[in-house]
Amino acid sequence: MQDILQNTLQDMPSIALRLNQWLADRQRTDKAAKGSEVRALARSSGGYSNITLMGQLFAADQQKIGDIVVRIQPDGAAVFPDCDVRTQYRTMQLLQGSGLPVPPLLGLEMDSSVLGAPFFIMGRLAGQVPDENPLYHLQGWLHDLPVAQLRQHWFAGLDGIAQLARLDWRALGFAFLQPPEGLTPLAKQLAYYDHMLRWSEGLSGHDYPLLWRAADWLKAHQPLDQALTLSWGDAKLGNCVFDQGRLVGMLDWERPALSNPVDDLSWWLMLDESLSTGYGVPRLAGLPSREESIAHWERASGFSAKDLPYYDVLSAWRFAIVMTRIGRIFTDRGWVTAEAEMDRRNGGSRLLELLAQRLPF
């Protein structure tokens, strides 16, 4: 089926025809009326763990319904060893009506015969997303905002992850994220990324000794008596959609988990630092400090950040593992040179090196 997908991706009109037939067969999706039609499909240059297409949806009377995003489950070149669009879709579906700004959903298809792989369609939220390439620390619309507005955007994102931490995950239906009996949610995360690191080494043929030393430290220093909340899994400015300083979208729910509430706070802070310190560029002046950010999150969430030092290491370790795959994908596609060793030398690995000097491990 992946051969069908790769061939089809070379012909966007063919994908549109397949999607329109799929819509017709369904008669009615969650949001799209009978007779609706997909147009103007184009592959997005962003996102590496899913194949992402952008397009427009028109009604039978030729009136535009809105912009859409098609996310297709990837083949063997994936970032994660177990990409599953069903989990992404289910997570956003359960969050509909929660008060969090997640995209509207238009349908999920697990039958690979339609496009060559499972996929789902969602509405595209109107607004602005901070740039990571080029880095928002150096240029772009966020970079150019007055300080007061810059701070407003930052704190709006922190408010979003604080609101997520306050949700009743049991009542919303997220019990499916619980680990097997006898395993804590943290131990489940550690085991997953331990497996992913072995998988990535097998694909790249490279060893990553720093990441294994960090893994040993993380297993030996697990905090006890942790609070448990729903985790976004990729809480960062680059996954936020803003409109005039308001948070109007929270995107990319590929790695939802049950975790310590500081998990998302740690990832938010680590991603920002990885895009500055991690790449040797100055942090965008005017952004709230780490201390301000922690205090704001604690007030907004109602939780303590006492376990943050441990989760700083966990976040840098997880990100460095993810970057072993992204680095190899970039190298294999010719986007960076092999000499750059992006799988070894990246923002995540640099932060992990700095943490190793301080702890040490």
**Looking at the structure, do residues 115 and 236 belong to the same domain, yes or no?**
no
Tell me, what CATH number does 319's domain have? Answer: 3.90.1200.10
How would you classify residue 101: left for phi > 0, otherwise alpha for psi between -120 and 50, otherwise beta? beta
Residues 151 and 115 both lie in one domain: no
Q: Are residues 113 and 154 in the same domain?
A: no
Count the neighbouring beta carbons within 10 Å of the beta carbon of residue 256: 23
Give the range of the structural domain holding residue 234, as residue numbers without chain letter.
147-358
Where among 69, 91, 123 does a domain terminate?
123
Whether 236 is covered by a domain: the verdict is: yes
Give a yes or no: residue 283 inside a domain: yes
Provide the whole-model pTM.
0.93
- Number of Cβ within 10 Å of residue 333's Cβ equals 10
| Residue 343, number of CB atoms within 10 A of its CB | 25
Distance in angstroms (rounded) separating the CA atoms of residues 141 and 128? 8
- Domain identity same for 190 and 338: yes
What value does the mean pLDDT of the chain take?
92
Q: What is the rounded distance in angstroms from the CA atom of residue 292 to the CA atom of residue 312?
A: 16
CB 8 within 8 Å of CB 21: no
Closest CA to 282 of 152, 107, 94, 135: 135
Is residue 256 within 8 A of residue 235, CB to CB? The reply is: no
3-state secondary structure 340-351: HCCCCCCHHHHH
Does any domain span residue 56?
yes
Residue that terminates a domain, selected from 89, 123, 157: 123
What CATH number should be reported for the domain holding residue 64?
Answer: 3.30.200.20
Which of the four pLDDT bands, split at 50, 70 and 90, describes residue 243? very high
Is the residue at 352 inside a domain? yes
Instruction: For residue 91, give Cα distances in angstroms to 87, 172, 231, 264.
Output: 6, 10, 11, 16
129 lies in a domain? no
Q: Among 35-39, 43-47, 95-99, 110-114, where is mean pLDDT lowest?
A: 43-47
Residue-wise pLDDT tens digits, 22-53: 988 876 544 555 678 999 999 987 666 778 99
Q: Give the three-class secondary structure for 56.
A: strand
Would you say residue 100 has pLDDT above 70?
yes
Which pLDDT score, from 0 to 100, does residue 24 have?
86
Decide: 271 and 264 in contact? Cβ < 8 Å: no
Model pLDDT, residue 78? 84
- For residues 47 and 118, membership in a common domain is answered with yes
Total number of domains constituting the chain: 2
Which residue shows structure tokens 């190298």? 331
pLDDT computed for residue 351 by the predictor: 96
Are 294 and 345 within one domain? Answer: yes
Is residue 141 a part of any domain in this protein?
no
The answer to whether residues 80 and 159 belong to one domain is no
The three-state DSSP-derived secondary structure of 91-144 is: HHHHHCCCCCCCCCEEEEECCCCCCCCCEEEEECCCCECCCECCECCCCCCCCC
Handedness of CA 220, 169, 256, 178 (dihedral sign): positive
| 305 shares a domain with 227 | yes
CA diameter of the chain: 65
Whether the Cβ atoms of residue 233 and residue 189 lie closer than 8 Å to each other: no
Q: In this structure, is residue 54 part of a structural domain?
A: yes
In a domain, 219, yes or no: yes
> Are residue 169 and residue 263 in the same domain, yes or no?
yes
**274 & 153 share domain:** yes
Rg (CA), the chain: 21
Residue 230 has pLDDT above 90, yes or no: yes
What residues contact residue 312 under an 8 Å CB cut-off, 6+ apart? 266, 269, 270, 355
- Reduced to 3 states (helix: H, G, I; strand: E, B; else coil), residue 201 is helix
Mean pLDDT score, 190-208: 96
| Shared-domain flag, residues 244 and 287 | yes
Residue 42's Cβ-side half-sphere holds a number of Cα atoms within 13 Å equal to 6
Confidence of residue 1 (pLDDT cuts 50, 70, 90): very low
pLDDT band at 268 (very low <50, low <70, confident <90, very high): very high
Q: Could you say which of 88, 123, 158 is where a domain stops?
A: 123
Amino acid at position 137, single letter: H
Quick one: which H or E segment has residue 227?
Answer: none
Over residues 261-275, mean pLDDT: 97
In this predicted model, what pLDDT tens digit does every residue of 45-83 receive, in sequence order? 766 677 899 999 998 888 999 999 999 998 766 899 988
Separation between Cα atoms, residue 54 and residue 69, nearest integer Å:
5
Task: Tell me which of 80-84, 139-143, 213-217, 342-346 is least confident.
Answer: 80-84
Identity at 319, one-letter amino acid code: F
Q: 161 and 65, same structural domain?
A: no
Rounded to an integer, the average pLDDT of 275-288 is: 96
| Residues 348, 218: Cα–Cα separation, whole Å | 16
Strands (E), 211-355: 229-231, 240-243, 246-250, 257-259
